[in-house]
Chains A and B, each alone.
Chain A
Amino acid sequence: MTSAVPAFATRKLVKTYGEGHTAVHALRGVDLEIPKGEIAVLLGPSGSGKSTLLNILGGLDRASGGEALFLGSDLCLMSDRELTRYRRDHVGFVFQFYNLMPSLTARENVELVTEIASDPMSPDEALELVGLRERAHHFPSQLSGGEQQRVAIARAVAKRPTVLFCDEPTGALDSKTGQSVLQVISDINVKAGATVLIVTHAAATGAMADRVIHFADGAIREITVNDERRKASEIHW
């Protein structure tokens, strides 16, 4: 296994906001490897640096030092244009507040991505994956929170992303809806082979992952590797 190039590898990754006395050290030298095809859950209290790491790996933010390699290429060395390209071709995002375009229907929100991706699935196929095919022509205002999040997931996976980033994907949802959303994410990992990174407060989510990374004070405190992944429906929080 170690011979294969990991999806992500970081070395002495540092992120500092501000300078001097007011400097905040969000990441204090993170070393990490996430193999391809895994589900990794990043756990930790607020401000522990997990979202910062996700943003850097997702090409939304830049590190202050160290390396962040995606399939061997250093994201820290990429230009703005290359980062856009990276997000466009490889990355799917799911956010706590869905961030759907209110003026587009569910299907059109997915099409927003399939129109610019190089090898997308059909929008209907993506909606099928999240079980929302029959609601394709509804606008976000006509969908429940869980449904909106599933559309967001469909939008994220429709481009067949290499990696799927989920920042508190169940944060705004009740537990039952949250379970179904996590199940969808898990299914996509299995069916599409996408590497999945989930940032969450909910420790129980770790049970569905291959690897659980515990964050505290901008550094990794512990990494646990699960021998067996639980189904989302078995998770409670």
Chain B
Amino acid sequence: MAPFDRKLFRDLWRMKGQTAAIAAVIAVGVLLLVMMSGLMNSLEETKRAYFERYRLADIFVSLTRAPERTVQRIAELPGVALAEARIIGSALVDIEGEDLPIRAQAVSLPQFGGQKLNVVHLASGRMPDRTRPEEILLLTAFANAHGLKPGDGFSATMNGARHRFTIAGLAGSPEFLYTTAPGEMIPDDSRFAVLWLNHDAMAAAFDMKGAFNEVVVGLSRGASAKSVMAAADRILDRFGGRGAYGVEEQASNRFVSEEIKQLRRTGTMVPPIFLAVAAFLLYIVILRMVQAEREEIGLVKAFGYTDLETGWHYFKFVLIVAIVGALSGCLLGILAGRAMVGVYLQYFKFPFLVFKVDPASFAIGMATSIAAASAGSLFVLRKVFALTPATAMRPPSPTDFSRLAIMPAWMRRWLDQPARMVVRRMLREPVRMAGAVVGVAAGMALSVSMLLVFNGFDRTVDVSFNVMDRSDLTVTFTHPQGMKVLHELASIEGVLEAEPVRIVSVEFRNGLSAYRSAVFGITPSPRLNRVLDTSLARIELPENGVVLGKGLARILGISPGDSIVLDVKEGARPVLEMPVTGVAETLMGSPAYMDMEALNRAIGEPRRVSAAYLRVDSAQTNRIYARLKELPGVAGVSVKANAQAAFQRQMDEGAGAVRYVMALIAGIITFGIVYNTARIGYSERARDLAGLRVIGFTRAETAFVLLGELAIVILVALPAGALAGTYLNRLMVAGFSNDLYQVPQVHTPESYGVAAVAVIAAALVSGWLVKREMDRADLVAVLKTRD
């Protein structure tokens, strides 16, 4: 090995702590890049393969009831490759040991032949025997959550009648990749089931003999979905068609696409932050190294090494750190990706999901790490080139502080000599000081914004589940019910309050933007589920007009005063144009609100309710559940506490869990920067500090000169970081928000306080570590070396 290379490895070993820290920062950046692009890749590829293999339909239309032959007309439309009619309905599953009726979706299997679209795949068991109406397929995830297996039985209520079923097999399907109960946002495997029944059994249960209430369509290649949807709507209009929608609005597809989009966003936003930090740290380390080795540099140049050869030696140091960091990042990225796949499988019920690394991400990770690391160090290498042997081998003259001789009189009066040393050094090298301040402020900003995101999540939960929704249970009905159902609910013993709500599915349109969601018709003075503005004050719903949730307003680009088109998909299916009178704080989903009676009048179904919110006596829940199970027309009961727990779980384990990782990383970066600042400050002045000790300064007095500077850096960096963190948070909440939930931007003072305390703690620990090193230093040895 060439002696130069031997020196290189010894240098790396000597500075192992610092270099390992920098390599770790690079590794985290590359890890995130590899993991996220790999996950994105895997989800996208798996989604494509799964949807293709099990033929997810391109268009969905549900309707009230149409004769079977109608589907033929749709199948003959130009651009339609396949059209399949089926019967869907809701069911309440009664599992032994469960107090609460569980909501389920029932879907018919074809009368003849196999499924052509939305094909089920069996996980175990077999397809139901066509001659046995009691045999069904059950959604695998639900079965697993309750320990059910083929051969087991349970009963369910469909259309008011109780049925006994036997499980023939467990299955999944691309349309039930992500399953939530209607009206809920978060999947809870144990609380929502899908049942596939034989066609005749479905027809009998839902009174659909010779008829269907949903059609799914597969398009031929190159066909226009839009024109097919328009044609299908025309045909099905008179059968109560609720409007066709494309696969992009299909819930499962939407959620998985949203997740992929978010991965892409975070994957491009976050890793560069780490690489920039690493570049900054490497720059400082190499700068320090070159300064300390000016004599050696001069010497080897005197021997006849060229500038390039000498520069290459230092550049190799950077390269090794970058490559080691990037390689470990790739490796860890694969491991982390594999672990994350398990998390995704809990939410997306893919039959298979293999973490497949995107090879491009390796190349990108490697290249950007090297580029970022080199960028910082190239500035330093210029210094290596500039050193001539003669100047390099002369002892450096003392740093020139003469330009700073003018110090205001008040400063002279107030500052003793050690304090003057601190002040002058900072004034002498403002760029380096600024660098340190920027570094620490960046750490502070990361911590602040992450903590604000935490608080945003907490606020989402708190506002959604405690402030806006003050009910305990929500009872949804299979069909809109008359008002008297409310009295029935209120008369159940233990029900303290009952409040109606009308939910109507609507396509909102503003110019070219359209979004399918629901309008909630709310009673004039709601007590259990309230519409609140962003400052959490109650919004009065107007006689004429609609209040949009924040998420919906953002999607459609609408503000109060604009008018909006509501293409109602139920009842008389009117197309309404009305003013937007306000924007409500909604943190989950993208709903809109109207006055209940105004909504009912508009769709021509007065005094109808879709669901009811209940406040109940918690001591009597079991009795209430039992009564609700018997009540005809009940599609399901959701317990707020369960929904809140499911949401919290999703936040903690799913995509939301990324925030913990990021907070940890923010902490590590902050500490890394603070420690490096202190460490470098020390190595640059080891000699001055030893000099002070020799003169008779105590350890504490000497430490003041070193750590005073760090303290000032921290003091300046804290407010700067707080400000930057506020802006960074704005970007982050946008990154974390999606259709499913919006993370609000909150400014909780305690977040800033906690971040500041964390930075100060990092400074104290760093200061302590460096001071310990200073205390251990051999005074004589330090003084004998020429700096």
Interface residue ranges, A against B (CB under 8 Å):
51, 55, 58, 60-61, 81, 84-85, 87-89, 91, 93, 95, 97, 99-105, 108-109, 111-113, 115-117, 137-142, 148, 155, 159, 172
Contact = CB atoms under 8 A, between A and B. Distances in A.
A87 B428 contact: no
B126 interface: no
User: Chain B: interface residue count, which band?
Assistant: 20 to 34
B618 interface: no
Nearest to B421: A103
Contacts of B693: 84
Contact of A100 (B398, B418, B698, B779): B398
A8 B580 CA distance: 95
Given A51-B780, A104-B417, A113-B696, 16 more contacts: A84-B693, A87-B695, A88-B695, A93-B695, A97-B395, A100-B398, A101-B692, A103-B420, A103-B424, A104-B420, A104-B421, A112-B417, A112-B695, A116-B696, A140-B398, A140-B401
Contacts of A61: 779-780
A60 B778 CA distance: 9
Contacts of B428: 103
Contact of B398 (A108, A139, A155): A139
Contacts of A172: 395
B402 A139 contact: yes
A201 to B, nearest CB: 14
9 contacts: A84-B698, A87-B695, A88-B697, A88-B698, A93-B694, A102-B400, A108-B417, A139-B401, A139-B402
A155 B402 CA distance: 19
Which among B398, B694, B696 has the greatest number of chain A C-beta atoms within 10 A? B696
B324 interface: no
Nearest to B395: A97
B89 interface: no
A105 B399 CA distance: 12
Given A60-B780, A89-B696, A112-B695, A101 B402 contact: no
Contacts of A159: 696
B397 interface: yes
* A-B pairs with lowest CB-CB distance, top 9: A88-B696, A102-B398, A141-B400, A140-B398, A103-B424, A87-B696, A112-B417, A99-B691, A139-B402
Nearest to B400: A141
B341 interface: no
Given A115-B416, A139-B401, A103 B425 contact: yes
B687 interface: yes
B400 A139 contact: yes
A105 to B, nearest CB: 7
Nearest to A54: B780
A185 to B, nearest CB: 17
B691 A101 contact: yes
A101 B416 CA distance: 14
A103 B401 contact: yes
B783 A102 contact: no
Interface in B366-405: 395, 397-402, 404-405
B688 interface: yes
A95 B688 CA distance: 13
B696 A84 contact: yes
B398 A60 contact: no
B779 A137 contact: no
Contacts of A58: 694
A115 B693 CA distance: 14
Nearest to A108: B417
Contacts of A88: 695-698
A108 B420 contact: yes
Contacts of B404: 103
Contacts of B691: 99-101
Nearest to A97: B786
A105 B405 contact: yes
Interface in B749-787: 779-780, 783, 786
Interface string B181-223: 0000000000000000000000000000000000000000000
B398 A95 contact: no
A101 B405 contact: no
Contact of A141 (B401, B420, B425, B786): B401
